[in-house]
Amino acid sequence: MKVAMAQQNYHIGNFDANFEKICQGIKAAKEQGADIVVFGELAVCGYPPRDFLEFRDFIQRSEQVIEQLKAVSEGIAIVVGAPTINPVIEGKDLFNSAYFIADGEVVHIAHKALLPTYDIFDEYRYFEPASEFKVLEYKGKRIALTVCEDIWNIGNENPLYTICPMDEMVAQEPDFMLNLSASPFDYKHAVDRIDVLRANVERYGIPIFYVNNVGAQTEVIFDGGSIVMNDAGMVVDELPYFEEMVRTYELAPLMGSAGVVAKDHEQPKEKMDLIYRALLLGIRDYFGKLGFTKAILGLSGGVDSALTLVLAAHALGAENVRAVMMPTEFSSDHSVSDSVKLVENLGCLSDIIPIQNTFQSFRDMLSKQFEGTAFNVTEENMQARVRATCLMALSNKFGYILLNTSNKSEAAVGYGTLYGDMCGGLSVIGDLYKMEVYALCDYINRDAEIIPKHILTKAPSAELRPNQKDSDSLPEYAQLDEVLFQYIENRKGPKEIIEMGFDKALVDRTLRLVNMSEYKRYQTPPMLRVSSKAFGMGRRMPIVGKYLL
Amino acid sequence: MKVAMAQQNYHIGNFDANFEKICQGIKAAKEQGADIVVFGELAVCGYPPRDFLEFRDFIQRSEQVIEQLKAVSEGIAIVVGAPTINPVIEGKDLFNSAYFIADGEVVHIAHKALLPTYDIFDEYRYFEPASEFKVLEYKGKRIALTVCEDIWNIGNENPLYTICPMDEMVAQEPDFMLNLSASPFDYKHAVDRIDVLRANVERYGIPIFYVNNVGAQTEVIFDGGSIVMNDAGMVVDELPYFEEMVRTYELAPLMGSAGVVAKDHEQPKEKMDLIYRALLLGIRDYFGKLGFTKAILGLSGGVDSALTLVLAAHALGAENVRAVMMPTEFSSDHSVSDSVKLVENLGCLSDIIPIQNTFQSFRDMLSKQFEGTAFNVTEENMQARVRATCLMALSNKFGYILLNTSNKSEAAVGYGTLYGDMCGGLSVIGDLYKMEVYALCDYINRDAEIIPKHILTKAPSAELRPNQKDSDSLPEYAQLDEVLFQYIENRKGPKEIIEMGFDKALVDRTLRLVNMSEYKRYQTPPMLRVSSKAFGMGRRMPIVGKYLL
């Protein structure tokens, strides 16, 4: 028996395009001689469909695609994810299901039992958990078919669920496991994934085909990395990250492989390389799926906008990216000269638009109201908002998407201007702490100096008043980032962080800044998620709370 | 036996303030001679605490309050909501619980079984559902203690859950029910609530005390309206909406009341009156819980900003509200004169700040880039963004919160400028369709003309180009609002709405506008929720989807 894994990039709600893509996968699998072709979780409608699932019309369109797939299932079995309607009136109206379609019929449907409802996931919002688990038989082989999370409640000290679907199925003596996933990227996730697959293989003693979606869905990036693991727990193949791929495998060699000398065939997993490729895919899919081709951004001379510009140019082509320098009286000479050098290195479009007159025009307009007040953060924010208005005007006039250039450290502590530098359709590096921004710049410069060295060595500054430095208002980033990581990613409280050896004043100040900035983050653009805990859908905080404040 | 209901307004994460408030409730209940005092769901930490629940530190602080409450439970039993730690390692780490504390001890804990995970609710994100249901006994009475949703899986055709906790408890022969709730307001909800309580009383034949939280938590408004219902299903008392209140009842008269002549004691439930009071509370709590007192907004001469201004002035006091008129060459004379009249009627602060010069300054700044292009939506948006920058400057300089004045119809179809009129810390009327905006204005003017009549009679216009009318770009609001209601609130698809008799072109255009505006709504301020389906946390849509587009 031959099994094809089809790792594909779907478009949420675009049923025609998804059907077309699945058909291409079927064609490729047939050409490779596959008996079964396996697609990802909710492939038919795209993942995550969110509240579109509440529309009966949306579900009906999905069901129509299943009908269309029945018609193309001659000569190959199609395993594909789609929602199904729960026939029982009690409970949620839908299941998150894997269809097994062969010879024009749906021969089996497996419903998902473990419904991830944490971080970016909301599955119990829509789906009833499965309570029955049945192995299916096809061409003499017994198959344990599961959806994503159903194989994840294993091998961790604090399991999230009280059951383990494969424990129920193993008594039915399956020959192998098929798992349909939509498991999003973070820079550590590919390692966790192999650990979990190996824990399953070791517990159940059979091989697994794990098929993951690829492609970015707004902020969430699916990395692919689909895996075939033999019954000895070796990675026989791991499909490339961030690419579509259909590849077929013989089942027989995966079984009885204990003692067979083999080596793991894993993809490299270097953090900055993964993040770089994830962000390129994130940008490309955001633009492509919305039907845009061109990006604009403000280039300040600092490291954040420089990195964002490089990523945009690499993702979209330098000819599709326009960088705008908008100096004021507070801008250093090098803010423009460093930027110009970067623009030349990349070959993208650029403008220099001094905003001093318009900034002054606002000050004149408000001179009566502001009489007797000193220049302060108000005028600093005003400059950022003049820049945003300028960028949005170019965006509106010429059809660019404005890219936001804020980093995670800034977003965390609220060091940014709402409706100013916090604007944009997409935040490219909003899930990278400042020190990670530097590390990614070093990665980009590994072979040649794309980002001028001076951008990487000068002290960070917003340049919104004379001689301003970030360090006037914020702790040093090397320290700040570590405290933020403990609070954001690890959900450690103040006492726990202080016990790790961090200064109490630093910790209290940092956590307070994070919690008092929720109102700002509520209105920020979606941020491409590359860590296990990004701001946005995956981190939901009250605005009017008073905790650590 | 006497039972006190304590309907209170908690501050999320503000454990000291919540403890203090609960102590005041205990004191009042003791003075009223109560044996038991009942508080709301998660009263100790405030509801909804969202991802703060993922912090062990947060849970420990909650547990400390329970210890403090044990110390003040002499002479009265305290029933209070708080999270508890799940002692079983499998499953989520917490329960959403009701503590029964008496004579210095926790004598009973009831965990919630039905975890609302829809609309604004995310409870399965945090909590394990209860699987055991036990009646407790106190002073010779048997009490069925439940948390909120646990009594809601009854009396509807499509129940959300497969079990009904009271069905399990009724075999243990309880004398009465106690339910601790955090059930948010929408303008129809108070009716549903009484229906559900009555369905419980009729099925189980015993009275119920239903204690609901009151107060706004960012966008979600809890209305109180706590209820005592006797075993004949009569509303013996319904506490006022939108106010704190502690009131005590004799248990005996609530039992064996079948055939006793009585009448329902319900609060009035007129839609616009409820919405008006809900919005005032929403504004007050947003400001109060964040520690602000003063609001600013842009006053255009149109109905939306007029209504927002009245609500702000009524909520915060006219002396704390500043209205800014910012005319351009496209503004009609009446845009200022009508606004001035409204400001005079209210007695609030106001400024007239013409923005023409600054608008022109932007056009000059971009003259090279825009050479040869015609005045279009870019320049319209630019005016809105100049206004926003002006308002935010005043906000930053003087400590105002900017109020957003957009309505739900505009937010739905994307008829607004991101970083322009879509700015603000809080959207006051963002959950009111345009026709509801007019209806609420009529309610406000019911006794005297607070909002000048001309504001209510002129054709809606953004006044961003000569002779512009909303109806140039949008369907008539009376039609548009009905289609939107079917799509947003009722989740009807295009076919279903057309079958109701709406024009196909209107429906297709409207749904398309809604779906293509998700990227804008992602960055809008929190909107005070008064309907069963508001934009924001309760409606989660993909940005890069392609459905009905």
ipTM, 2 dp = 0.96
B89 token code pair: 């390692």
Q: What is the pLDDT along chain A (549 residues), one digit of tens a residue?
A: 999 999 999 999 999 999 999 999 999 999 999 999 999 999 999 999 999 999 999 999 999 999 999 999 999 999 999 999 999 999 999 999 999 999 999 999 999 999 999 999 999 999 999 999 999 999 999 999 999 999 999 988 899 999 999 999 999 999 999 999 999 999 999 999 999 999 999 999 999 999 999 999 999 999 999 999 999 999 999 999 999 999 999 999 999 987 776 778 899 999 999 999 999 999 999 999 999 999 999 999 999 999 999 999 999 999 999 999 999 999 999 999 999 999 999 999 999 999 999 999 999 999 999 999 999 999 999 999 999 999 999 999 999 999 999 999 999 999 999 999 999 999 999 999 999 999 999 999 999 999 999 999 999 999 999 999 999 989 999 999 999 999 999 999 999 999 999 999 999 999 999 999 999 999 999 999 999 999 999 999 999 999 999
- Amino acid identity of residue B228, one-letter, is V
CA distance A18 to A16: 5
Report DSSP state, residue A72.
Answer: T
Considering the candidates B21, B41, B45, B238, report the single residue annotated as catalytic. Answer: B41
Q: Report the C-alpha gap between B352 and B339 in whole angstroms.
A: 10
Chain segment A424-449, per-residue pLDDT in tens: 999 999 999 999 999 999 999 999 99
Q: Is 3.40.50.920 the CATH number for B2-254? A: no
Topology adopted by domain A2-269: Nitrilase/N-carbamoyl-D-aminoacid amidohydrolase (3.60.110)
Strand positions, DSSP E, B29-76 = 36-38
Considering the entire predicted model, what is its pTM?
0.97
Band of the pLDDT at B156, cuts 50, 70, 90?
confident
Do residue B358 and residue A370 have CB atoms under 8 angstroms apart? no
With CA atoms as reference, the chain B residue closest to A524 would be B523
The arrangement of secondary structure in B274-467, i.e. its CATH architecture, is: 3-Layer(aba) Sandwich (3.40)
Continuous segment of H or E residues that includes residue B306: helix B303-316
Helix (H) or strand (E) holding B76: none
Pairing of strands B349-352, B321-325: parallel
- For chain B, give the mean pLDDT: 97
Q: What order do you get walking across the sheet with B426-427 strand by strand?
A: B349-352, B321-325, B295-298, B401-404, B426-427
Q: Catalytic residues of A, which ones?
A: 41, 112, 148
pLDDT at B326: 97
- Express as a percent the part of chain A with pLDDT over 70: 100
Q: Which long-range contacts (CB under 8 A, 24 or more apart) does B445-453 make?
A: B449/B345, B450/B310, B450/B342, B450/B345, B450/B346, B451/B303, B451/B306, B451/B307, B451/B310, B451/B342, B451/B345, B452/B306, B452/B338, B452/B341, B452/B342, B452/B345
Distance, in Å, from the CA atom of A14 to the CA atom of A8, rounded to the nearest integer, reads 14
**pLDDT at site B441:** 98
State the best of A123, A543, A548, A549 to mutate against chain B, taking most chain B CBs within 10 Å.
Answer: A543
Burial B285-323 (b: 16+ CB within 10 A, else e): bbbbbbeeebbbbbbbbbbbbbbbbbbbbbbbebebbbb
Assigned token pair, A420: 């100013």
Q: Quick one: which of B282, B46, B62, B425 has its CA closest to A542?
A: B46
Task: Read off the pLDDT of residues B427-471 as tens digits, 9 standing for 90 and up.
Answer: 999 999 999 999 999 999 999 999 999 999 999 999 999 999 998
Q: Which two tokens stand for residue A37?
A: 């072709």
Give the closest of A52, A56, A218 to B544, CB-based: A218
Sheet holding B2-7, edge to edge: B105-111, B94-102, B77-85, B36-38, B2-7, B245-250
Task: Kindly tell me the sign of the dihedral angle through the C-alpha atoms of A144, A145, A148, A153.
Answer: negative
pLDDT for the residue numbered B191: 95
pLDDT of residue A212: 98
Q: Quick check: B278 and B223 in contact, CB under 8 A?
A: yes
Q: How far apart are CA B272 and CA B187, in angstroms?
A: 8
Q: Does the A281-470 domain belong in CATH 2.60.120.330?
A: no
Q: Helices (DSSP H) in A32-77: which residue ranges? A: 56-70
- Contact at CB, A419 and B392, closer than 8 angstroms: yes
Q: Catalytic residue, from B148, B164, B423, B441: name it.
A: B148
- pLDDT for B479: 96
Instruction: Give the three-state DSSP class for A490.
Output: coil
Query: What gap in Å lies between CA B211 and CA B7, rounded to an integer?
Result: 6
Percent of chain B scoring above 70 in pLDDT: 100
Give the number of other Cβ atoms within 10 Å of residue A30's Cβ: 17
Integer angstrom CA distances of residue B177 from B8, B65, B136: 20, 25, 11
- Round to whole Å and give the CA distance between B31 and A4: 74
Q: Which of A90, A286, A393 sits opposite B544 (nearest CB)?
A: A286
pLDDT over threshold 70, residue B483: yes
The whole-number pLDDT of residue A261 equals: 67
Sequence spans of domains, chain B = 2-254, 274-467
Question: Given an 8 Å threshold on Cβ–Cβ distance, is B525 in contact with A522?
Answer: yes
- Find, in chain A, the residue whose alpha carbon is nearest to that of B417: A392
Collect all residues with Cβ–Cβ distance below 8 Å to B486 and sequence separation of at least 6. Answer: B492, B496, B497, B500, B502
Nearest to A361 among B160, B361, B418 (CB): B361
Backbone angles phi, psi at A333, to 5 degrees: -60, -40
Categorize the per-residue pLDDT at B261 as very low, low, confident or very high, splitting at 50, 70 and 90: low
> Residue A257's pLDDT is what?
86
Backbone φ, ψ for residue A304 (5° rounding): -70, -50
R_g of chain A, CA atoms, integer Å: 26
From start to end of A413-546, where are the E strands? 426-427
Q: Give percent of chain B above pLDDT 90.
A: 97
CA–CA distance, B24 with B30 (Å, rounded to integer): 10
Residue of B nearest to A388 (CA): B419
**Would you call the peptide bond into A48 cis, given omega within 30 degrees of 0 as the criterion?**
yes
> Which residue(s) pair with B101 in the sheet?
B78, B106
